[in-house]
Amino acid sequence: MIDQKPIALAVTGATKRFGSALALDDVSLSVAQGSICALLGANGSGKSTLIRALAGYHLLDAGAVQIHGEELNVHRLAEQGRAAGLRFVHQDLALIPDLSIMDNLALERGYVRDGSGTIQWRREEERVRRELASVGVEASPSERVAHLGPVDRTLVAIARALDRLDGNRNILVLDEPTARLPQSEAAKLIARLVALKERGLPIVYVTHRLDEVYKLADAVTVLRDGRAAFSGPLSTLSSDDLHKLITGVAVRMNPRLAAAAKSAVGKAVLEVMDVSSQRLTNVTLTVQRGEVVGVTGLIGSGRSELGRIVYGLQSRTGGEVRISGKPIDLALASRRIGYIPQDRRAGLFPALSVEENITITAAERLNQWFGLSPKRVRDAALKVIRAFQIRPADPLSSVGILSGGNQQKVALGKWLQLPLDLIILDEPTQAIDIGTKQDLMTTIKERARAEGLAVLWLESDIEELVKYADRILVMNAGRTSAEFSQQPFSLQEVLAEAYRMNDDPGEAKGGAAHAARIEHGG
Amino acid sequence: MPHASSMEGENRSSAPRGGFGRSWSILYKYGLLIALVALAAVFSLLRPDTFPTLANAGSILTGSAALAMIAIGVTLPLIVQQFDLAAGFMATFASLIVIGLLSFNQAPVWLAILAALAVSAVVGLVNGVLVAYAKLNSLVVTLAAGSLLFGTSEIYSGGATIYQNVPKAFLAVGQLRVAGIPLPFVYVIVVALIAWYILEYRPIGRYMYAIGGGEEGARLVGIKVDRLVVLVFVASSFMAGLGGVVQSARVGSANPSVLQSMLLPAFTAAFLGATSIRPGQYNIWGTVIAVYLVGLGTTGLFMLGASSYTEPVFDGAVLLVAIVLAKLSARGRSRS
């Protein structure tokens, strides 16, 4: 449209409904041959839905998709998209670390074999060497993927996805490839991607990092609440414009909580003093009695790691953590600290019953001289089931069959039944419907108000924080970069701070690849 | 559905509602016990003179006692998703130690028994530490431990059966009857009751099932996973040793090759047991019932004239059926 080059991929009027929610509303996007279109948007804006729809995971309710000018059947995007050259590289790359690069590539397209079916290793190796050279990887084809750096791994995944690098029939969709990379590595990857683009490859590039957009993208599509807030060339936009496009959402505040939101002045329950670790640099924060402190930041900012350090799951290289004045080990032994990990399933026992899941934290308290009374255990479980309205309200059904929202109620309930000093929540309302979300956060707020529970809440959904937190800290590349304590919070300001460009490449700490394993988000 | 809220939290699966579904789930829960009774009835009909007698009942109860102990032992690591493949060799080794101390060293009976059990516990401790703290695969660790125990057993006994000079007081431990019930069976019941009580009524038992349900999750709620896993291996090894001691007291001798063949039947019983009582989860009563189901089955087949080679065939077939049933019952749990 705007470009001289032919359009490789054009999506028009894409619409997708989940129940009553409109996940995509008349979204259009296009990528020209040899250009990169950045796909931007906050969490829940519809980026993932759009990508998944293109890959054929979700069926679009309406819309059209054209590749190289040919109209595809939107009901058969999985096969037709693939046949037309559409390729996806997802965040987890789906490589097998213990196999060589050659084997990993062959998983996708098979080995070079002779008439009898025997693998021609010599020719296979030559072919892989060529493929690696074309994406800019210098490693030997027989190198194990585990030995590669994160950038090379991503490039290997790209080489595997593309079938003919010279033919330019492919269109590559990259889902946040730099999310888990430190800044310096990200810059290397971006340089490689630009080189691929210049050789003609069209790329749809999903990202959270605005600074990257200006380094590689030609066009940009910004999604907000399922709509395309903007779709067109990047050159017309300033970074301020992009901020506004991404974050232009009205602030909504729960009136009940707004009334209750009175800054509780209590003694400090959690004190994080000058803590450093693999990804954190001199983080200092406190959470008072009865206070809900939200910590946000992009993926890779270190917020999840902060939670793991406070709960003693990960070691720190410097600084001190005190809970109720006690050093962390002693505090954890007192069992007055709860933790809900980001990966909900890691915090639950899916094969065990609701009752077993709820009472596992309370077994010590429920125990009597003769052991656990089944009636006491059952009563404790029923109390939580009732308080949290867990459905089905059956203490014996296994947790694995519960909906995501109900699983999270079990996870919260098992902690909140105890007299806690502090609870650490890592994305507690992720993938939960709005009603349940509100119930859970209201429960937590009330608990904080009534009993002085301190809450450290790590969250990527800033809109949620703005609604329920007493104080919001923003993290950027392992440091706390801003604090908001004046209510009502401005969603725009917090978002802008979280998306603030970070042009200091020395900042990011190394070793991101493994540290970030469970640090996924939006 | 009115829940079986009477006893402990059994009836784990959320059973289908309604009369039919309920009776079906009860049938499932007690299926193993029903199979045991049915099998006894069949053999009684086929061999009315020899099978349904007190003597035969006594011999089945005693004959499977050592296996029951070993099987209860291996059930514990299975609950926390670990394997103790050394159990059979441990039982062998313990039986040789106890008989050897009595026979070669004229040790007092209590000391010989204590020594055998202590050695068993130490072996379990080593296994447990290697698994829990060195993070080694329990299959490999216990396979190696089993091989070591096997070799040591051969060396200690010179490959022969030890039976000389075993005092009567020791034989009494394995051969007396209380109110007509053979002592070895009494031991089984006592051990099973203790294990069951701990698993069902003590926090530690809950924690074991939690570790089995997800080690990461268990750590996150503050369970001291590693310590507990060590304890489980100690308990498993101890039970195997106990099985060895009971067996040697029953027969008055020990040799390096009899008890080790009980490893497979012990696992068969644990897997089969997991289909019943607490369907989908390893449990003590399921294991015990399964041991006697297999014991009764082999005895019955012998009486029908099957050769002694039938036993491993029967065990293998039951094992296959057991794991298929276990899979199905686990699926049943996650459905509904």
For A396-428, the DSSP string reads TSBGGGS-HHHHHHHHHHHHHTS--SEEEEEST
What confidence tens digit (pLDDT) does each residue in A138-175 have? 999 999 998 898 899 999 999 888 876 455 688 999 98
Is A335's CB within 8 Å of B222's CB?
Answer: yes
Mutation to test the A interface, candidates B201, B221, B283, B334, most A Cβ within 10 Å: B221
pLDDT higher than 60, residue B45: yes
pLDDT of residue A261: 42
What confidence tens digit (pLDDT) does each residue in A349-366 have? 988 999 999 999 999 889
pLDDT of residue A57: 86
Is A349's CB within 8 Å of B213's CB?
Answer: yes
Is A346's CB within 8 Å of B216's CB?
Answer: yes
Is A396's CB within 8 Å of B9's CB?
Answer: yes
pLDDT of residue B330: 61
Q: How many CB atoms lie within 10 A of CB A435?
A: 9
Which helix or strand (DSSP H or E) is residue A472 part of? strand A471-476
**CA separation (Å) from A146 to A65, A142, A175, A513?**
37, 12, 21, 11
**Which residues on chain B are in Cβ contact (under 8 Å) with A347?**
217, 220-221
pLDDT of residue A491: 80
What CA–CA distance (Å, rounded) separates B168 from A376?
49
If you count residue pairs, one on A and one on B, with CB atoms under 8 Å apart, how many are there?
A: 98
**CA separation (Å) from B331 to A341, A410, B24?**
27, 22, 15
Residue B329: band (very low, low, confident or very high) from pLDDT cuts 50, 70, 90: low
What confidence tens digit (pLDDT) does each residue in A23-32 have? 899 999 999 9
pLDDT higher than 60, residue A127: yes
Residue A515: band (very low, low, confident or very high) from pLDDT cuts 50, 70, 90: very low
- The ipTM, to two decimals, is 0.79
Do A201 and A218 form a contact (C-beta atoms < 8 A)?
Answer: no
Q: What is the dihedral of CA B150, B156, B161, B163, to 10 degrees?
A: -130
What confidence tens digit (pLDDT) does each residue in A98-113 have? 889 998 888 877 888 8
Residue A58: band (very low, low, confident or very high) from pLDDT cuts 50, 70, 90: confident
What CA–CA distance (Å, rounded) separates A199 from A402?
49
Closest-CA distance, A103 to chain B, in angstroms, reads 27
Mutation to test the B interface, candidates A323, A352, A368, most B Cβ within 10 Å: A352
What pTM does this model have? Answer: 0.74
% residues pLDDT > 90 (chain B)? 61
Is A396's CB within 8 Å of B3's CB?
Answer: yes
Interface residues from chain B to A (CB-CB < 8 Å) = 3, 5, 7-9, 11-14, 197, 200-203, 206-207, 209-210, 213-214, 216-223, 280, 330, 333-336
User: Average pLDDT, whole number, for chain B?
Assistant: 87
Q: Are strands A219-224 and A36-40 parallel, antiparallel or unpaired?
A: parallel
pLDDT higher than 70, residue A522: no
* Amino acid (one-letter) located at A306: L
Phi, psi (rounded to 5 degrees) for B114: -60, -40
What confidence tens digit (pLDDT) does each residue in A432-461 have? 777 788 888 889 998 898 888 999 999 988
What CA–CA distance (Å, rounded) separates A355 from A347?
15
Q: Pick the closest to residue A361 from A411, A308, A426 (CA basis).
A: A411
Quick check: A341 contacting B, CB < 8 Å? yes
**Which residues on chain B are in Cβ contact (under 8 Å) with A379?**
none
Is A377's CB within 8 Å of B9's CB?
Answer: yes
pLDDT of residue A464: 85
**Which residues on chain B are in Cβ contact (under 8 Å) with A360?**
206-207, 210, 218, 221, 223
pLDDT of residue A254: 42
What confidence tens digit (pLDDT) does each residue in A384-425 have? 999 988 888 899 988 988 888 889 899 999 999 999 999 999
DSSP A489: P
Between A116 and B130, the more confident residue is: B130
Both structure tokens of B248? 């040697």
pLDDT of residue B12: 41
Do B299 and B63 form a contact (C-beta atoms < 8 A)?
Answer: yes
pLDDT higher than 90, residue B124: yes
**Which residues on chain A are in Cβ contact (under 8 Å) with B207?**
360, 363
Do A374 and B236 form a contact (C-beta atoms < 8 A)?
Answer: no
What confidence tens digit (pLDDT) does each residue in B296-327 have? 988 898 888 888 788 888 888 888 887 787 77
pLDDT higher than 70, residue A258: no
Q: Collect all residues with Cβ–Cβ distance below 8 Å to B102 and sequence separation of at least 6.
A: B109, B112, B165, B166, B167, B170
* Amino acid (one-letter) located at A436: T
pLDDT of residue B100: 95
Residue of A nearest to B206 (CA): A360
pLDDT higher than 50, residue B18: no
pLDDT of residue A372: 92
Q: Average of pLDDT values for B98-121?
A: 96
pLDDT higher than 90, residue A226: no
Do B138 and B153 form a contact (C-beta atoms < 8 A)?
Answer: no
Least confident of A246-250, A292-296, B133-137, B265-269: A246-250
Quick check: A308 contacting B, CB < 8 Å? no
Q: Angle A34-A35-A37 (CA atoms, 0-180°, nearest 5)?
A: 150
Q: What is the dihedral of CA B115, B117, B119, B122, to 10 degrees?
A: -140
Quick check: A314 contacting B, CB < 8 Å? no
Q: Could you say which of A341, A352, A378 has the minimum Cβ distance to residue B213? A: A352
Residue B83: band (very low, low, confident or very high) from pLDDT cuts 50, 70, 90: very high
What confidence tens digit (pLDDT) does each residue in A458-489 have? 998 888 888 899 999 998 888 888 888 877 88
Which helix or strand (DSSP H or E) is residue A15 part of? strand A7-18
pLDDT of residue A511: 34
Q: Pick the closest to residue A89 from A2, A167, A16, A192 (CA basis).
A: A192
Q: Could you say which of B3, B216, B334 has the minimum Cβ distance to residue A398? A: B334
Q: Average of pLDDT values for B213-231?
A: 92
Q: Collect all residues with Cβ–Cβ distance below 8 Å to B281 and sequence separation of at least 6.
A: B12, B79, B209, B212, B274
Is B9's CB within 8 Å of A353's CB?
Answer: yes
pLDDT higher than 60, residue A518: no
Between B129 and A313, the more confident residue is: B129
User: Average pLDDT, whole number, for chain A?
Assistant: 83
Q: Average of pLDDT values for B272-295?
A: 90
The DSSP bridge partners found for residue A22 are A17
Least confident of A5-19, A172-186, A434-448, B236-250: A172-186
pLDDT of residue A10: 93
Residue A325: band (very low, low, confident or very high) from pLDDT cuts 50, 70, 90: confident
